[in-house]
Each structure stands twice: as structure tokens, then as C-alpha cells.
A and B are shown apart, each in its own frame.
Chain A
Amino acid sequence: MQKEDLAPHVKEISQVLNGSIDDDQITKELKTFLEVYRVSLETAKRSIIRKYGGNPALLSGGQRKRIGELTGNEQRVDLLVKVISVNKKEIEIDGTYKPILYGIFADESGTASFTAWDADRFDFNKGDALLVRNAYTKEWNGQLQINLGNKAIVERQDADSINFSEIELPKFTETKQVKIAELQEGMNNVTVTGRILSVEKRIVETSDGSKTVYSGVIADATGKTQFSAWHNFELKQNDVITVKGAYVRGWRGIPQLNFGERAEVSKFSGTFPSLIDLSQSVLRTIVDLEKIGGGIDVRVKGVVVDVRDGSGLIFRCPTCKRVIQRNLCRIHGTVEPLPDLRIKAVVDDGESVLTAIMNRKITESLLGMTLDEAMKKAKEMMTPDVVKEEIENKLIAQPIEISGNVTKDEYGLMMVVGSARIALPDIKTEATTLLSELEGFS
């Protein structure tokens, strides 16, 4: 590296050391580090500063950015921010407690939450203008997070060094109250009120080792969802709770509520539907389920417009239960086939479609025929296809009401049906109501 190229770095080192060392001396040492020891420029600068008793963190190594420009991958970044909020709390690390600061920083480009991992090193308050050096950023739960680690330095600035109207800032700190039926994969910082229908403690293996999770089902009048609490909030069945700061993850399209120790959980004291009421499945439209990606124990209405192949009398491998053709399982070779009944029905409500998978029990009740009877019929007619035809005759064009868990994949929505019934509404009553509404207009 040429001497001229080194000049700005020499100047920088000199600044950190308050000019106590001669520039020529610094240049010489820097060259030695780079040319003799062949270390990186960054390491060289830090070493020199340390050697003369300076603080290498004061090097403005971080790139100066605005909050709106952050990507979540910055290793060292400098920011000029205003403190919108700051709070202190203790976290547990390997059995010892350590105070940290968390809150919101803002500049004219936006806001982001921050965490300062050693509360004792920092001293700033709400409303302060700060120059934050050497912060790093991460994305956590889909949100950008500014981290102040052991290299971070905070310099207080004149309050008027940042000029922007606080009114324009998004109300970042406010969490959004949502109904359970509105939960969608990827949502963050939501507030949900619901009754715990069930809860159990489980140990799960994660990339950070095994963790205890309290999971179960929570419900409000709009629906149910599975939840996972990553902290012991002492949740009990039948509790009605409000969770602030929860986030939503998807499992095969089904949105699930998650909350960790950062969430606030409180008992809800107002009136709320009872455990028994909430245990019923809630009627939803297929369009609605498509939008949110699925749901547990939901009920839909529609008309059967098709019965897919693979419905009717089928044969399974007795060992692995796979559907087999000609007594041949692709894993277990020639086997004694196990007969079964199944329906894969396309249920259409005029606005959207889902595939409903019905097991033997439900198939038998809709078909009005037991498995043995279906076998007998297939033998008589010399083909199992006759059972599928029978299903089509019984179901095509029939209005049906089904409930179960709905998942979503590249083929669309699929419900594993828990219960099904042919359901005609009271046509005369509905027609009369509709007519009086319409004639009211004219």
C-alpha cells in the first residue's frame, strides 16, 4: 500500500489517540503491521491504538447509515438516532442475571427496536439524541433489530442534531389487537385475547439445545389456534389471557401463535365465551381459509362438485398402510391387502374450493354402506370402481357441511374431515328473509 493511501487511516488513528503520537511514527508502525506481519488493515489500526492506550472502539469503523437503510446484516454500523423509548430488564444467561436495555430508536427514515446487551455500560434516556457507533443488526421474527454489543459506543449529541417530526413516525410501539381468525403467518407484535382450551408442557429440540415449551390450543369467538409459549407463564386450561407481543408462525399453512418471555401475558377479566362454546368448530368461508392459509377445527359449507380418483374401495399394505395396487406394496413387496374406504371430495362454495379427505367411518355413514357391504358389491360387479360410482351418485351436487383441520399446499386447501353431514338449509325461511330485504329496497 502506498503511503498516500495510508494517510486517511493514519489521521484516523491519530484522532483516536488525540494526536499524542507523531503521524510519522504511526505511519511507520502501520506499514510494519501491514507489510511485515501482513495483518488486515483493521487489525493493524486497532493494535496500534491499543498499544498507545487508546480505545480502538472509537475508530469509526462502522459505516454510517440511516435506519431505513439497514438490512439486518450489518456487522458494524453507525447511526444518529433519537431514543423513542428505553426500558431496563434482567435476562437470565446460564443461571446468572444480567441487566439489559431495550427500546426504540428513530431517525428521519424510520424506527427500529434496539437491545443494549450490557445495561451498565450505557446511560441514556428517552428523548436523547445519540450517535451510536459500532452497532450490529439482525433480523429477529421478521423485524430489524439494532444490537449494542461490547464494541458499541454511544455519544450523546445536541438534541437539535436530529430534526424530524415525531408525529410522522409509525406507532411502532403499539401492538396490534387481532382476533384469532385473523392471525396470519409472519405477523409480529400482535395482541391476542383468548381462552386456553388445552395446554401441555413439552421438551423440544432446537438449534440452541432442548427447550421447554408450553403448547396447546387457544380460542376466541372467531376460531381456534395452536399456541406455543416459550416461557413458563403458568398457563392453565380455561384461563382467559391477553398476550401482548406474540408472533405468528405457519405449520403446513396453518398459522400458529408463538410468544416468548418478551411477551406480556395477563389475565383477562371481562366476559368471554365459555370453554364449551369455544370448543365448537367455527363456521368459516373457504375464501377466508385460503387467505390465512388454513386452520384447526374449522367448519365449512359447500357443494360436492367432484369425487377424485383414489376414492371408494381402496387397498392398503397391512404394514405401512400405503395405498397399493394389485397386492403389491412398493416397500413390502407382495402383501395381503387390507381393504379400506375413503372419499376425496372437491367441496365448492361458489367462491372457492377445497379437497375434503374422509376416512372409512365418515365414508360409511355418508354412503349408507359398510366396508363389508362395499366389498360384496365390488365382488358382485367385478370391480371396486362401483363403490366410487356409488359415492358420486350419493354426493355430487349435495350441499355438505364438514369440519376438521385445514392445511394448504401447492394443490390448494385440504381438510382432513372430522365430521360431515349433508346439510340443506331451511330454504323457505331464508328465501322469505331475503325477499323481504330486497322488497324493502324497491
Chain B
Amino acid sequence: MISREVAWRAFAAEYNASTLEVKGEGERAPSYVITPLGAMINRLFVVGVLTDIENTGTEEEPFWKARITDPTGTFFISAGQYQPEAAIALARIRPPEFIAVVGKSRTYSPEEGTLYVSIRPEKVTVVDEKIRDYWILETCKSTLKRISAAEEARQMESPSVESLMKLGFSRVLSEGVVRSVAHYQTVDFEKYRAVVIDALKYLLPEYQTEIPEIPVESPEEIDEEENIDNEEKVLAIIDRLDKKGKGAPWDEIVEEAKKEGIEKNELEEITNSLLDKGLIYEPILGKMKRI
């Protein structure tokens, strides 16, 4: 069955704390960001305040970068020519504004062990405060469900998808939780419970005066700009080297990239990311081609 990936509801605090990305099996398999609580995110739905937006591309080919904050942290959004609908929508919006975004999880890993996550939007729409509040409530509920699934799993001798499903958790959540337990050595559940409690208080006027600063490990400034620049560079290299339309040889790409200051390790990350985005493919082993 060709099923559509579900749009997860997760707070920025949880999404940004992710350090694990997994790939499904087979060709064209989607990749997922696994959060510490076991959300297995390929697509997500977020609502928050658009605080700033800038065009890091050109007038002709805009590339939008935006930040959306929720009560727990900031989501990083970027959209270019391959997300025309979202790019057009972003071009029209002036911060601050409540916006809703449906998008795909994106990752950038400049070095082993470091993972920066962002969102590549499919749909961007302006909403009102009620929808934002509704999203916070729903996200609290789904975060609590993940906390309880992850806590159950950590009490099991050998956590399995089947045993979690027996407890009533859905298959995707059970799969995500099992993977999260294997990757994240410890998870501070109290911290996430506190995140939920604070988010709920945010919704209730009687607590409005004493909203505490929620401590969130916000990821360092994502070097997304350099990331995107380098992707553009690599695409240009591939175009240049692909003289016969049969793809650019890998060895030559490595050489050319080095001249532009991109080392082989980094190049591999970039091509992987381009492969993920569906901008390039490998027509035969050792050759890269633009789609």
C-alpha cells in the first residue's frame, strides 16, 4: 500500500533535540528523524508565530528562511524553487504572524554525531490564535502519549514493536520508540513533562503572568546558509561535469568540489542530502545526475 506519511505534532523542544535520522528500506524509501521520545518524523505539522523571514536567494530565485516559535523553542523553515507553493506563500507573509506549516523533516549533519533539523514546507498558511492554541493542546496530548510509550519501552527488558502495540500504541509510534530507545541513552522525561505543563499553562489566562522561561536546549545557530550555498555549488559542479547527459563522474565531482573548498566527507553529506531531496540521482554507480 502506498500510504501517505502522517504529519506528526511535536514541540520544537522535542524536534530540535533529535540526533537520529534513519532511512527506510528499499529505493525511494523515506527518511525519518527520530526524536528522543520516539516520534518517527518524515512529515510534521506545526503552528506558531512567524518571527522572522528573509530571502537568502535572489529576486529571481528566492530562497526563504523563516523561524517559527512555539512555547518551547524555534522551528527552522526553508523553502526555495522546489517548494513553489510554500515559497509563494512565505513571500506574502510579514512577521509577526500566526502561521501553520505542513512540511517534511530535513537534516543537516556537518560532522558525525551532530544533527541539525529543519522543516522543508509543503503548505504554509496564515491562521488565527485559536488554531495555534488548538495545536498546542493537541501537541501536548501527543507528547504525553510519546512520553508514556517511551517510559514503558524503557522498562522492558527488550523493547519490541509488538509488545508496545499490545499496550495499545500505534505501529508507527511503537517503531519510533523502539528506535529511540536504542539510540538515546537517557531521556529526561521530567523535562518533557515540564515542557508539556508549561505549554498547557500558556493556554490558560490564570497562569499568563508567571510564564517561566522554558529551558530548552536550542540548537546552535544552524549553518543552514552555508549548507544551502554548498548544495548549490555541488549542483553547479554536477551540471558542469555532466557533458554527455549521462551523469557526472564521482571522482571528478570530488576533485572539483575540493577546488571550491568542499572536502570529500562534507561532499558526501551534501550529495546524500541532494539525493534525499530528489534533486539528483545515481543513473549508474559512481555517476551523479540532475533530475
Among candidates A287, A303, A352, A424, residue contacting B45 with C-beta atoms closer than 8 Å: A303
When distances are taken between beta carbons in the complex, the residues of chain A under 8 Å from B134 are 399, 424-425, 427
State whether A287 and B170 are in contact (beta carbons under 8 Å apart), knowing that A410-B1, A435-B204, A439-B197 are contacts in the complex: yes
Among candidates A397, A425, A430, A435, residue contacting B125 with C-beta atoms closer than 8 Å: A397
Query: Which of A20-28, A93-101, A343-351 is near enough to bind chain B?
Result: A343-351
When distances are taken between beta carbons in the complex, the residues of chain A under 8 Å from B4 are 346, 353, 412
Q: Which residues of A are at the interface with B, using a C-beta cutoff of 8 A?
A: 287, 303, 305-306, 346, 348, 350-353, 392-393, 396-399, 410-412, 424-425, 427-428, 430-432, 434-435, 438-439, 441-442
B200 contacts A434, C-beta separation under 8 Å: yes
When distances are taken between beta carbons in the complex, the residues of chain B under 8 Å from A346 are 4
Asked if B7 CB lies within 8 Å of chain A CBs, one says: yes
Among candidates A305, A434, A438, residue contacting B123 with C-beta atoms closer than 8 Å: A305
B201 contacts A435, C-beta separation under 8 Å: yes
A306 contacts B137, C-beta separation under 8 Å: no
Q: Kindly provide the distance from the CB of B84 to the nearest chain A CB, expressed in whole angstroms.
A: 13
Asked if B8 CB lies within 8 Å of chain A CBs, one says: yes
| CA A399 to CA B200, docked complex, whole Å | 19
A435 contacts B200, C-beta separation under 8 Å: yes
**Contacts of B196-235 to chain A: CB distance below 8 A:** 196-197, 200-201, 203-205
**19 sampled A-B residue pairs with Cβ under 8 A:** A305-B7, A348-B7, A350-B9, A351-B172, A352-B6, A353-B6, A353-B7, A396-B100, A396-B125, A397-B45, A397-B123, A424-B134, A425-B137, A427-B133, A428-B204, A431-B140, A434-B144, A435-B204, A441-B193
Among candidates B1, B123, B193, B197, residue contacting A306 with C-beta atoms closer than 8 Å: B123
Interface centre among B5, B138, B141, B196 (most CB of A within 10 A): B138
Asked if B29 CB lies within 8 Å of chain A CBs, one says: no
Q: Count the B residues whose beta carbon is within 8 Å of the partner chain — how many?
A: 38
A350 contacts B131, C-beta separation under 8 Å: no
A352 contacts B170, C-beta separation under 8 Å: yes
Among candidates A351, A393, A431, A438, residue contacting B137 with C-beta atoms closer than 8 Å: A431
Q: Kindly provide the distance from the CB of B175 to the nearest chain A CB, expressed in whole angstroms.
A: 13
Specify the main secondary structure of chain A where it touches its partner: mixed
When distances are taken between beta carbons in the complex, the residues of chain B under 8 Å from A431 are 137, 140, 200, 203-204
When distances are taken between beta carbons in the complex, the residues of chain A under 8 Å from B3 are 353, 411-412
A411 contacts B2, C-beta separation under 8 Å: yes
State whether A393 and B125 are in contact (beta carbons under 8 Å apart), knowing that A351-B170, A398-B131 are contacts in the complex: yes
Given A305-B102, A410-B1, 6 new contacts (CB under 8 A) = A352-B170, A397-B47, A397-B127, A399-B134, A412-B1, A432-B204
A348 contacts B6, C-beta separation under 8 Å: yes
| CA A430 to CA B122, docked complex, whole Å | 30
Asked if B130 CB lies within 8 Å of chain A CBs, one says: yes
B131 contacts A442, C-beta separation under 8 Å: no
A435 contacts B197, C-beta separation under 8 Å: yes
| CA A411 to CA B196, docked complex, whole Å | 35
When distances are taken between beta carbons in the complex, the residues of chain A under 8 Å from B127 are 397
Mask of B1-29 contacts with A, CB within 8 angstroms, 1/0: 11111111100000000000000000000
Asked if B109 CB lies within 8 Å of chain A CBs, one says: no
When distances are taken between beta carbons in the complex, the residues of chain A under 8 Å from B47 are 397
A442 contacts B193, C-beta separation under 8 Å: yes
| CA A439 to CA B138, docked complex, whole Å | 18
| CA A392 to CA B85, docked complex, whole Å | 11
When distances are taken between beta carbons in the complex, the residues of chain A under 8 Å from B193 are 438, 441-442
Asked if B271 CB lies within 8 Å of chain A CBs, one says: no
